[in-house]
């Protein structure tokens, strides 16, 4: 067997080969099978413009762990992959590529531009797929989807028609985010709020027919050209006599009303605010409440339009500068204060976004939000961790209508047609033959496309064939778990939930697993501007995909950010090396001596201990996995394999293996236990580190086809051996004690000495005697004697106290007795401090009344143990002094 396992762990040598095997065998593919219970998840579709980054690597690693786990549990597991057309970012990239060739997008025309964009998509979209394959993801590539493919496009059009027919989609004037460079509306998800240094300009607004002024502070003086009111809080006594009066808008000399509205914060600024309904989302809502005029003062390129009077044609910042100077000249500028505030910028081009009222297509959200709220409150949808319930509900309960139209060409074109004669709007799946209003036959289709989130909101069901009633939709939908970052709960998760409920009557998934962000080793968000991004593909090339995957999950708790350290990747690779070398040792000995199923279960305490510990780990890890505590589960697998299996059990088993010729049955029991426990452990590790586990398992269990389609281990009550666990826990303490003594006294490794263990417990005596030969190998012993009394032990033997036993090493000729006395004195001092600490806690009424009873009992047990150990240490001190 072992000839197929290389001498050294070399991930580059095996990962591509194994992935091709999995693909060829169709292990990732799922078909409808009514005899099995389905488990479905969909991949959050990465942009076709993108390159795999650490966020993708984390997100897809978590999904892969879950899907591999469920597949091994016997579920008909389906993981649907796909990519998003990323409307704006793709259009920007293609436009820039054309510009580099001297081609203007507008001159090329819509149809030719879309042809070029599809070519671009075909060239670059496969890159993300190849990168995900390197990570080892086991999604069903046969079912890969694209948000602009024929099926998804049909679903998008169907949803638009249905929502419009029900009155949920309408065309109207509302406040939107406008990018003056890309010249399109953008979603909230595409607005990045950055802290920028700016100013508060304090401006006097004269009150009509009086000699008083209202002082207003603004960060955007240029928008005052569109002011249509001043608002104060109705409870603000300073201004109650002004409500209902009018003010004169400086520079424009337009009369505007002074209104009372609870939106105004009396404690902020002067307590009076300018209201510009056409250029601020909060002002827009105030304007609706008070029936205020909406005056848009900007063109699409952020220059001032004809409503700006003398400032028309100026850029927004040029106009700002001129207006401030004019206000100063008129004596209306009170002061300028430095001010740091959040400014919205477009994440694609970095341009400062302008809130602006425009005629766009919107989805009415109030009614659609209600079922999405109820499904969470009823427990039909849950977030892991639960604290994100509040984030979800807060956004839905304060939801605004959703702007879904974009002024770009790449995307799903809005299925709305305008009569060329009377401008009647007809929403339909194809060009109308005649206008229902005037009978005219010529129409033009709306130029706009739909927000990318509109199509991705349908992802869980459009990918399964909806609106067609496919067998896959009936069997695999609703999906089970969605894995995503906390940064897109608003933009994607919520839209999928209300869309799924509206179109299918069911929540698209029952659980949303939220993960945090991957930050650099200083805790900063990775970004191009900081230059601190880490390419996961480079990490894979250097350390292997398994090491990267393990690093991303180690210590990772749902919803929390984590820092990325290369040192942790190296530690993960070291763990892989450890497992690899231990497996090679086992395989070489199986190959040398052979292994068969024993006629009876082993009675050796070490075998029963490791079987019992593995059994308990299976129970705990399975429980953690079911709770999506993936990081905790991995830490338990790691600790078991590294410490208990490799560092202890293999070392204990070596004596029996090395004496296989004389004790064949004993050696076979050890090898069989090694093979069985390693096999189960590899299965638990497989979802996290699929490549190394597949390679080892294929050699360890050559009769099985693949670890990824093997059965997930189950807890067996009959494999719980508490007594043997107790024996081995004592055995480990004894060996640690011996090693510590030898280390402290600088005893040469080659110097052997008798080891005495004195204990009154019969089960310990019996169990430790069965471990005698292993103890001699592992602790450099010339003999290992377990007895109830100190009979036959030299008075000057070195000792160490462990729970329930005392170890003695007769090293009269090897030790410095003064050093031994010093060591025991320090131990006496340490135990004295522990006893005082325990007594202090147990004498504290507050601790006794508030601490759980189990904690109190634990402290009592500790005190009893420490007192016993101290008595033995004092006795040993006396012996040395009296020798």
Whole-angstrom distance, CA of residue 738 vs CA of residue 732 = 10
Q: Could you tell me which of 663, 472, 466, 629 has the C-alpha nearest to residue 553?
A: 629
Name the strand (E) or helix (H) holding 42. Answer: strand 38-42
**Which region holds residue 580: left if phi is over 0, alpha if psi is between -120 and 50, else beta?**
alpha
| 28: Cβ contacts below 8 Å, ≥ 6 apart | 22, 79, 138, 139, 140, 141, 142
Whole-angstrom distance, CA of residue 121 vs CA of residue 87 = 11
CA pseudo-torsion sign 578, 583, 588, 592? positive
Structure tokens at 364: 């009415």
39: number of Cβ within 10 Å: 22
Q: How many H helices and E strands in the chain?
A: 28, 29
Cα 854 to chain centroid distance, Å, stands at: 35
CB burial of 789-808 (b: ≥16 within 10 Å; e: otherwise) equals ebeebbeebbbbbbebbbbb
CB burial of 336-354 (b: ≥16 within 10 Å; e: otherwise) equals eeeeeeebbbbebeebbbb
Q: Could you tell me which of 252, 180, 191, 242 has the C-alpha nearest to residue 221?
A: 252
Q: In this structure, are residues 285 and 303 in contact, taking their beta carbons and an 8 Å threshold?
A: no
Whole-angstrom distance, CA of residue 228 vs CA of residue 295 = 8
In order, the DSSP letters of 309-341 are GGGTTSBHHHHHHHHHHHHHHTT-EEEEEEEEE
Q: In this structure, are residues 479 and 509 in contact, taking their beta carbons and an 8 Å threshold?
A: yes
Residue count (the chain): 883
CA pseudo-torsion sign 621, 515, 44, 531? negative
In order, the DSSP letters of 514-532 are EE--EE-TTSPBP-TTTT-
193: number of Cβ within 10 Å: 11
Cα 673 to chain centroid distance, Å, stands at: 37
Whole-number Cα distances in Å, 278 to 65, 850, 872: 49, 59, 85
Binding residues: 528
- Based on the number of CB atoms within 10 Å of its own CB, is 533 exposed (0-12), middle (13-18) or buried (19 or more)? middle
- What is residue 146's DSSP assignment? E
Whole-number Cα distances in Å, 309 to 142, 149, 201, 305, 518: 61, 48, 21, 8, 50
Q: In this structure, are residues 308 and 297 in contact, taking their beta carbons and an 8 Å threshold?
A: yes
Binding residues for ATP: 528
């Amino acid at each position: 067997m072992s000839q197929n396992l290389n001498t050294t762990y070399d991930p580059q040598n095996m990962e591509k080969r194994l992935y091709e095997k999995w693909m060829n065998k169709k292990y990732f593919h799922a078909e409808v099978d009514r005899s099995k219970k389905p488990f479905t998840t969909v991949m959050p579709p990465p942009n076709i413009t993108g390159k795999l980054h650490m966020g993708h690597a984390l997100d897809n690693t978590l999904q892969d762990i879950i899907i591999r786990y469920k597949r091994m549990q016997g579920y008909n597991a389906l993981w649907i992959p796909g990519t998003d057309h990323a409307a704006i970012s793709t259009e920007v990239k293609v436009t820039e590529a054309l510009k580099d060739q001297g081609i203007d997008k507008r001159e090329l025309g819509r149809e030719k531009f879309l042809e070029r964009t599809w070519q671009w998509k075909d060239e670059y979209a496969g890159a993300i797929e190849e990168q995900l394959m390197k990570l080892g993801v086991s999604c069903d590539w046969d079912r890969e989807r694209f948000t602009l493919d024929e099926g998804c496009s049909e679903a998008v059009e169907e949803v638009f028609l249905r929502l419009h027919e029900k009155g949920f989609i309408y065309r109207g004037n509302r406040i939107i985010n406008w990018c003056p460079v890309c010249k399109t509306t953008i979603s909230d998800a595409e607005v990045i709020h950055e802290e920028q240094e700016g100013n508060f300009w304090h401006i006097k607004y004269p009150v009509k027919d009086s000699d008083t002024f209202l002082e207003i502070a603004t960060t955007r003086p240029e928008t005052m050209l569109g002011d249509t009111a001043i608002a104060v809080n109705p409870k603000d006594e300073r201004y109650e006599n002004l409500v209902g009066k009018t003010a004169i808008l400086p520079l424009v000399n337009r009369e505007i009303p002074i209104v009372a509205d609870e939106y105004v914060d009396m404690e902020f600024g002067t307590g009076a605010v300018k209201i510009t309904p056409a250029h601020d989302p909060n002002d827009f809502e105030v304007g609706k409440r008070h029936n205020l005029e909406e005056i848009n003062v900007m063109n699409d390129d952020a220059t001032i339009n004809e409503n700006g009077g003398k400032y028309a044609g100026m850029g927004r910042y040029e106009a700002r500068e001129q207006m401030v100077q004019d206000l100063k000249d008129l004596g209306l500028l009170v002061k300028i204060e430095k001010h740091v505030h959040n400014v919205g910028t477009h994440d694609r081009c970095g341009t400062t976004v302008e809130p602006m009222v425009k005629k766009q297509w919107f989805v009415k959200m109030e009614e659609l939000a209600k079922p999405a709220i109820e499904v969470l409150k009823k427990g039909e949808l849950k977030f892991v961790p639960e604290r994100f319930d509040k984030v979800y509900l807060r956004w839905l309960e304060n939801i605004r209508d959703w702007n879904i139209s974009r002024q770009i060409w790449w995307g799903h074109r809005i299925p709305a047609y305008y009569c060329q004669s009377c401008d009647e709007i007809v929403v339909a799946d194809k060009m109308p033959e005649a206008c229902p209003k005037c009978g005219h036959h010529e129409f033009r289709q709306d130029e706009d496309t739909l927000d990318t989130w509109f199509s991705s909101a349908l992802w869980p069901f459009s990918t399964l064939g909806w609106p067609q009633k496919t067998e896959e939709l009936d069997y695999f939908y609703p999906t089970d778990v969605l894995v995503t970052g906390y940064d897109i709960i608003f933009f994607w998760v919520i839209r999928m939930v209300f869309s799924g409920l509206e179109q299918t009557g069911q929540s698209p998934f029952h659980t949303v697993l939220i993960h945090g962000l991957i930050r650099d080793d200083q805790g900063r968000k990775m970004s191009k501007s900081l230059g601190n991004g880490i390419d996961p593909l480079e990490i894979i090339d250097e350390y292997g995909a398994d090491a990267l995957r393990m690093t991303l999950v180690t210590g990772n708790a749902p919803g929390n950010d984590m820092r990325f350290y290369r040192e942790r990747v190296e530690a993960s690779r070291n763990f892989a090396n450890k497992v690899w070398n231990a497996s090679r040792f086992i395989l070489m000995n199986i190959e040398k001596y052979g292994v068969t199923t024993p006629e009876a279960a082993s009675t050796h305490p070490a075998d029963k201990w490791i079987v019992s510990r593995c059994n308990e780990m299976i129970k705990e890890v399975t429980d953690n996995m079911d709770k999506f505590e993936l990081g905790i589960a991995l830490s338990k697998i790691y600790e078991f394999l590294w410490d208990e299996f490799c560092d202890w059990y293999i070392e204990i088993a070596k004596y029996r293996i090395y004496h296989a010729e004389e004790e064949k049955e004993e050696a076979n029991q050890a090898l069989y236990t090694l093979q069985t426990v390693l096999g189960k452990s590899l299965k638990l590790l497989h979802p996290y580190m699929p490549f190394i586990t597949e390679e080892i398992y294929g050699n360890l269990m050559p009769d099985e086809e693949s670890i990824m389609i093997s059965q997930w281990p189950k807890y067996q009550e009959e494999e719980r051996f508490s007594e043997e666990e107790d024996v081995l826990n004592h055995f480990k303490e004894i060996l640690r004690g011996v090693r510590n003594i030898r280390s402290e006294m600088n005893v040469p490794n080659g110097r052997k000495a008798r080891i005495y263990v004195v204990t009154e417990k019969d089960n310990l005596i019996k169990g430790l005697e069965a471990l005698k030969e292993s103890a001699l190998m592992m602790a450099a012993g010339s003999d290992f004697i377990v007895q109830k009394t100190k009979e036959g032990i030299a008075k000057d033997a070195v000792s160490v106290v462990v729970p329930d036993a005392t170890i003695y090493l007769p090293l009269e000729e090897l030790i410095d007795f003064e050093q031994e006395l010093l060591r025991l004195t320090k131990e006496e001092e340490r135990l004295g401090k522990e006893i005082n600490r325990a007594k202090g806690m147990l004498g504290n009424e507050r601790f006794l009344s508030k601490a759980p009873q189990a904690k109190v009992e634990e402290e009592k047990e500790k005190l009893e143990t420490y007192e016993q150990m101290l008595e033995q240490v004092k006795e040993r001190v006396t012996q040395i002094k009296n020798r």
